[in-house]
């Protein structure tokens, strides 16, 4: 950490430097008796102080505001921000500058007489690190750089504007700190000790109330859409609430994977005991490779045999972890007439993996508006063309735009909230009890297989049926 | 990735290790060849299998075996490492004195072990057994045959287990399964344990033709085998792959803090360490990066696990670009024959691929029908490392596929032999 930064932070009473992500937020001074409440020292207020101090010696100074807060949440986690700070550190130190990490993850730094090309090169590198985020490739159309903003602090520069930004940031930070104090503490991430307890609890729990279902649709002919399968899965938010409300079950990837192995078996057990009015044409289940080799799967198979097909959705993570197991499982599933689906693909996996190597029957790609732009758009068009639209299902379609994008690329299989609503609307058109319900109610009741939501519905037959609907059409794009 | 015997990831990988040709068969072959040349030959059996586990780790065996190497180089004898860790050295009588001095060395090496301190007490057999081939050929042959058939049986047992249809396949149980409770205890213990004595290094070497291996960089890792013996002797760490993955992540972090503490030359020169994507973005790594920069840094390779890379490609890409910017090279680790088709080095923008040796590779094709040669060709011969080479056939095969970089127990042996030979030449010159 450079002198300049340390000097600023130390005199302000913060022992930690901005690289320490823990310092993001606030530091409360001890309240002075008779004072008007504790002064809240934040990185923002330090920035404002520093900006005010230079008001008479602004010549040759510049400030840069890096808008990391505009990145997608998954791209601005602590690690990303830490690396960004690390990248900037040398240059900020070289020009005896000061750097501030705001509570929003934005970074602001000030320098004196920098060699602008140096700074620009560094920012270029930083931008490249985030090149997979729409922030760096999206064109707002207004010619503005959304990633960073420069301020000339000298005479006839942008000093006032910069001061305004610092003031606004300080006010926002103060507000955030107050709200945060009132908000409940963040959930603890799961660790191996807690996982043990969670597994014990899971062993005796009735998971059938946690199971959700969602239909996927395929456009059969020009004008007809039929249900391709019904996916049965565990509602993670619900599981979280019931199993360990104060623990973040997904806070550790490997421990969660371990948990999911047990969960698979419990779900298979619950589905084997489940009673629906009508079986779906195909059950689609998210399973670990290990679960397919378990007796619970065999029992489920026996249970639905002759009445419904089975499609097993597998994750890349699991396949890479046990590729040999995957090949064997794929063969076993095919031998028994089941379908093999690769789940959880996205614009990145499509770009960095040769998806066809999985040789699956169906590839489930998670829809994202990012697919419509820049590098991702190109990747997706190429990947869809290679794999063939017939082997792709576009999942999490929550808008007409998603469906339209897919249709225009020859994709005929869709799943997501948009389809749920379509299905509910179609159901209500022909349901004799429909006058008592809203569209949202119908959608929610479709999603469960047990519990009060289901019993509220006056026509469970309709809930379990797989109707033929009118196909959505693509608007020309 | 460290070798199989250090970090068994899955049962399958263990099975692979067990299919490798064993010293028993080589010994048997050799003895058959000697049938008419018994005269003037002797053999000594070193019962390393009777050593306590702490003294019987992989590096002990390697060192013990390498003490015979100079004589092997001078064509005075042949050394065989058996599956139970026992060593047999068959030699010409002219080397008797040298052999005796080696035995003294070995006794010295293990002189604290009950196998030697209590040698001959009660029913305990002597630690070394001598054979005069002219007289004891048959008994040695029988011994070798018995060992080979025991080994054969064990292997076919493994084979049978692994060939069962998937629905009936249960993991081969060796020891208790790793549970969350044990993992929690292990992680607690790791927080305070001194891992410095479990830090190991293994060289990745360039081997071209018949020339001796040239070390390219050294992998630093914590020996899981040692760790298990110390902390959880009866537990089969591979029984729960995801819990095991969690454990390696903890260990990777510990290695970093260990290296951060070391101001000696541990991290000097060209080295590689195992990391995961999240750790690469953690404060510990930035401290490490600072320390490395301060010293003269050579080639630094960061080895990332394939599962870790694919678990969150976005995070990986970010970490990759940062690491490249800092001058590190990235190696994808633990890519076995089955997962090879999924790993496109060029697409992933990775510098090196570590391919796990598997004797099944000799059948020629990958699960997608492509040949390994084609894969290596596309990946780049200087970009592919064949790791866990436990025998010469791995190196031979790798070379025939165009691979030039190798790692594993056998490579260590070759390296030790080369060093010993060089030393031999030097001392003769003196």
Q: Alpha-carbon distance B332 to A211, whole Å? A: 37
Tell me which residue range forms the domain holding A147: 3-182
Residue A377 domain-assigned? yes
Give me the CATH number covering residue A392.
3.20.20.450
Which 347-386 residues of chain A touch chain B by CB within 8 A?
348-349, 351-354, 357-359
Would you say residue B171 lies in a domain? no
Q: Closest to B321 (Cβ–Cβ): which among A75, A129, A322?
A: A129
**Residue A41: enclosing H or E segment and its boundaries?**
strand A40-42
Q: Determine the average pLDDT of the residues in A329-356.
A: 94
B224-to-A13, A67, B2, B266 alpha-carbon distances in Å: 45, 43, 9, 19
User: B90 - beta bridge partners?
Assistant: B43, B78
CB contact under 8 A, B314 and A87: no
Do A100 and A240 have their domain in common? Answer: no
Residues B138 and B256 in one domain: no
To test the contact with chain A by mutation, choose from B244, B246, B292 the residue with the greatest count of A C-beta atoms within 10 A, namely: B246
Of A115-119, A180-184, B383-387, the least confident: A180-184
Q: Give yes or no: residues B150 and B274 share one domain.
A: no
Domain of B304, CATH number, reads 3.20.20.450
Pair A215, A415: CB distance under 8 Å: yes
Residue B97 and residue B197 share a domain: no
Query: Rounded to whole angstroms, what are the CA distances from B171 to A65, A126, A129, B100, B263?
Result: 55, 47, 42, 45, 43
Say if A196 falls within a structural domain. Answer: yes
What would the DSSP string read from start to end of A64-103? EEE-GGGS-GGGSSHHHHHHHHHHHHHHHHHTT-EEEE-T
What chain B residue is nearest to A85 in terms of C-alpha separation?
B286
Nearest to A254 among B165, B249, B338 (CB): B249
The model scores a pTM over 0.80:
no
Q: Is A146 on the interface with B (CB under 8 A)?
A: no
Q: For chain A, what is the domain count?
A: 2
In a shared domain, residues A200 and A341? yes
pLDDT of B115: 81
- pLDDT tens for the 430 residues of chain B, in order: 433 333 334 444 444 444 444 678 778 888 888 888 888 899 999 988 888 877 777 767 777 887 788 888 777 888 888 878 889 999 988 888 888 878 877 777 777 777 877 776 767 778 888 999 989 999 888 888 888 887 777 766 655 554 433 333 333 345 678 889 989 988 888 887 777 778 888 999 999 888 889 888 999 988 777 777 777 777 777 778 899 899 888 888 888 888 887 655 556 678 899 998 988 998 889 988 888 765 555 678 999 999 999 999 999 999 999 998 888 999 999 999 999 999 999 999 999 999 999 999 988 789 889 999 999 999 988 899 999 999 999 999 999 999 999 999 999 999 998 888 877 776 665 5
Q: Which is nearest to B352 in space by CA: B326, B333, B378?
A: B333
* A44 CB-side CA count, 13 A: 23
Q: Measured on CA atoms in the order B225, B228, B234, B237, is the torsion positive or negative?
A: negative
Q: Which of A196, A321, A357 sits opposite B181 (nearest CB)?
A: A196
User: If you count residue pairs, one on A and one on B, with CB atoms under 8 Å apart, how many are there?
Assistant: 144
Q: Across the interface, do B322 and A83 touch by the CB < 8 Å criterion?
A: yes
Looking at the structure, tell me whether residues B301 and B235 fall in a common domain.
Answer: yes
**Residue B59: predicted pLDDT:** 65
Q: What is the pLDDT of residues A21-75, one digit of tens each?
A: 544 444 444 444 444 455 678 899 999 999 999 888 888 999 999 999 999 999 9
Per-residue b/e over A57-94, b at no fewer than 16 CB within 10 Å? Answer: ebeebbbbbbbbebbeeebbbebbbbbbbbbbbebbbe
| SS3 category, B152 | helix
Cα separations in angstroms, B115 against A383, B120, B122, B230? 63, 9, 12, 20
A477 is a domain residue: no
Nearest by CB to A75, from B183, B314, B319: name it: B314
| pLDDT score of B170 | 35
Residue B169 lies in a domain: no
Cβ separation A254–B245 shorter than 8 A? yes
Q: Give the domain extent around B320.
A: 178-429
CA A314 to chain centre: 19
What does the alpha-carbon distance between residue A197 and residue A190 come to, in Å, rounded to a whole number? 11
Check residue A12 and give its pLDDT: 30
Same domain, A165 and A266: no
Percentage of the residues of chain A whose pLDDT score is greater than 70: 91
Residue B349 lies in a domain: yes
Domain count, chain B: 2
| A61-66 vs A107-112, strand pairing mode | antiparallel
Residues 379-418 of chain A with CB under 8 A from chain B are none
Q: Could you tell me which residue, A185 or A320, shows the higher pLDDT?
A: A320
- The pLDDT value given to residue A137: 79
Looking at the fold, whether A141 and A225 belong to one and the same domain comes out as no
Q: CB distance A321–B179 less than 8 Å? A: no
Whether A395 is in a domain gets the answer yes
* Radius of gyration, alpha carbons of chain A: 27
- d(C-alpha B191, C-alpha A76), whole Å: 29
**Tell me, what's the pLDDT at B161?**
53
pLDDT at A15: 31
Q: Are residues B23 and B92 in the same domain?
A: yes
Q: Which residues contact B28 (CB under 8 A, 6 or more apart)?
A: B141, B144, B145, B148
């Amino acid at each position: 950490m450079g002198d300049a930064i340390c000097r600023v932070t130390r005199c302000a009473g913060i022992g930690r430097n901005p690289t320490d992500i823990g310092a993001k937020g606030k530091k409360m001074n001890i309240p002075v008796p008779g004072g008007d409440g504790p002064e809240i020292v934040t990185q923002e207020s330090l920035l404002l102080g520093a900006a005010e101090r230079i008001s008479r010696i602004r010549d040759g100074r510049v400030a840069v505001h890096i808008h990391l807060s505009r990145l997608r949440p998954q791209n601005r986690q602590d690690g990303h921000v830490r690396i960004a700070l690390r990248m900037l550190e040398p240059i900020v130190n070289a020009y005896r500058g000061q750097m501030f990490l705001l509570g929003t993850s934005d970074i602001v730094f000030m320098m004196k007489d920098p060699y602008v090309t140096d700074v620009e090169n560094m920012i270029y590198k930083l931008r490249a690190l985030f090149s997979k985020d729409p922030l760096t490739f999206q064109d707002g159309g207004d010619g503005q750089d959304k990633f960073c903003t420069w301020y000339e602090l000298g005479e006839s520069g942008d000093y006032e504007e910069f001061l305004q930004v610092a003031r606004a940031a300080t006010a926002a930070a103060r507000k955030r700190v107050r709200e945060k104090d009132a908000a409940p503490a963040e959930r603890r991430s799961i660790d191996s000790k807690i996982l043990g307890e969670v597994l014990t609890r899971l062993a005796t729990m009735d998971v059938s109330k946690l199971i959700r279902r969602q239909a996927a649709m395929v456009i059969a002919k020009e004008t007809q859409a039929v249900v391709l399968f019904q996916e049965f899965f565990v509602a993670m938010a619900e599981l979280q609430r019931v199993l360990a409300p104060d623990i973040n079950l997904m806070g550790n990837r490997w421990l969660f994977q371990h948990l999911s192995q047990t969960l698979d078996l419990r779900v298979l057990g619950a589905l084997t005991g489940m009673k629906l009015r009508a079986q779906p044409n195909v059950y689609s289940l998210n399973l670990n490779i290990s679960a397919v080799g378990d007796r619970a799967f065999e029992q489920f198979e026996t249970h639905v045999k002759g009445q419904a097909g089975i499609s097993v959705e597998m994750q890349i993570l699991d396949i890479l972890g046990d590729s040999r197991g995957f090949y064997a499982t794929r063969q076993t599933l095919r031998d028994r007439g089941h379908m093999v689906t690769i789940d959880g693909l996205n614009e990145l996996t499509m770009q960095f993996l040769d998806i066809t190597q999985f040789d699956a029957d169906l590839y489930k790609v998670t829809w994202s508006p990012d697919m419509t732009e820049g590098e991702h758009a190109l990747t997706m068009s190429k990947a869809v063309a290679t794999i063939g639209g017939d082997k792709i299902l576009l999942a999490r379609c929550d808008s007409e735009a998603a469906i339209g994008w897919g249709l225009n690329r020859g994709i005929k299989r869709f799943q997501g909230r948009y389809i749920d609503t379509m299905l509910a609307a179609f159901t209500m058109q022909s349901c004799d009890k429909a006058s008592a319900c809203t569209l949202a109610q119908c959608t929610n009741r479709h999603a469960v297989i047990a519990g009060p939501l289901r019993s509220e519905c006056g026509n469970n037959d309709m809930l379990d049926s797989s109707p033929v609907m009118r196909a959505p059409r693509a608007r020309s794009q | 990735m460290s070798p199989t015997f250090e970090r068994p990831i899955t049962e399958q990988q263990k099975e692979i290790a067990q299919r490798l040709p064993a010293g028993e068969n080589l010994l048997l072959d050799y003895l058959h060849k000697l049938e008419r040349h018994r005269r003037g030959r002797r053999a000594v059996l070193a019962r390393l299998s009777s050593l306590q586990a702490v003294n019987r780790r992989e590096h002990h065996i390697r060192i013990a075996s390498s003490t015979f190497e100079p004589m092997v180089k001078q064509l005075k004898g042949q050394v065989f490492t058996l599956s139970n860790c026992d060593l047999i050295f068959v030699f010409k009588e002219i080397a008797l004195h040298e052999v005796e001095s080696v035995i003294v060395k070995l006794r010295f090496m293990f002189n604290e072990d009950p196998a030697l301190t209590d040698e001959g007490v009660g029913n305990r057999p002597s630690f070394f057994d001598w054979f005069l081939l002219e007289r004891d050929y048959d008994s040695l042959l029988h011994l070798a045959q018995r060992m080979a058939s025991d080994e054969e049986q064990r292997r076919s047992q493994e084979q049978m287990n692994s060939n069962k249809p998937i629905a009936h396949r249960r993991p081969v149980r060796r020891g208790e399964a790793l549970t969350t409770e044990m993992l929690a205890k292990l992680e607690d213990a790791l927080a305070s344990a001194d891992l410095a004595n479990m830090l190991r290094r293994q060289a990745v070497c360039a081997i071209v033709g018949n020339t001796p291996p040239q070390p390219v960089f050294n992998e630093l890792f914590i020996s899981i085998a040692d760790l298990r013996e110390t902390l959880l002797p009866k537990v089969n760490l591979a029984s729960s792959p995801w819990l095991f993955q969690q454990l390696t992540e903890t260990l990777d972090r510990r290695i970093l803090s260990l290296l951060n503490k070391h101001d000696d030359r541990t991290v000097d020169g060209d080295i590689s360490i195992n990391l995961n994507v999240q750790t690469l973005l953690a404060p510990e790594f930035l401290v490490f990066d600072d320390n490395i920069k301060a010293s003269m840094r050579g080639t630094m390779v960061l080895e990332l696990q394939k599962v870790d890379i694919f678990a969150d490609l976005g995070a990986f890409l970010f970490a990759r670009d940062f690491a490249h910017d800092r001058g590190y090279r990235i190696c994808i680790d633990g890519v076995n024959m089955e997962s090879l088709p999924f790993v496109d080095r060029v697409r992933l923008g990775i510098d090196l691929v570590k391919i796990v040796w598997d004797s099944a590779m000799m059948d020629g094709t990958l699960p997608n029908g492509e040949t390994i040669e084609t894969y290596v060709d596309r990946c780049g011969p200087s970009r592919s490392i064949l790791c866990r080479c436990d025998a010469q056939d791995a190196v031979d095969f790798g070379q025939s596929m165009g691979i030039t970089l190798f790692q594993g127990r056998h490579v260590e042996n070759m390296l030790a032999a080369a060093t010993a030979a060089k030393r031999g030449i030097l001392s003769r010159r003196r």
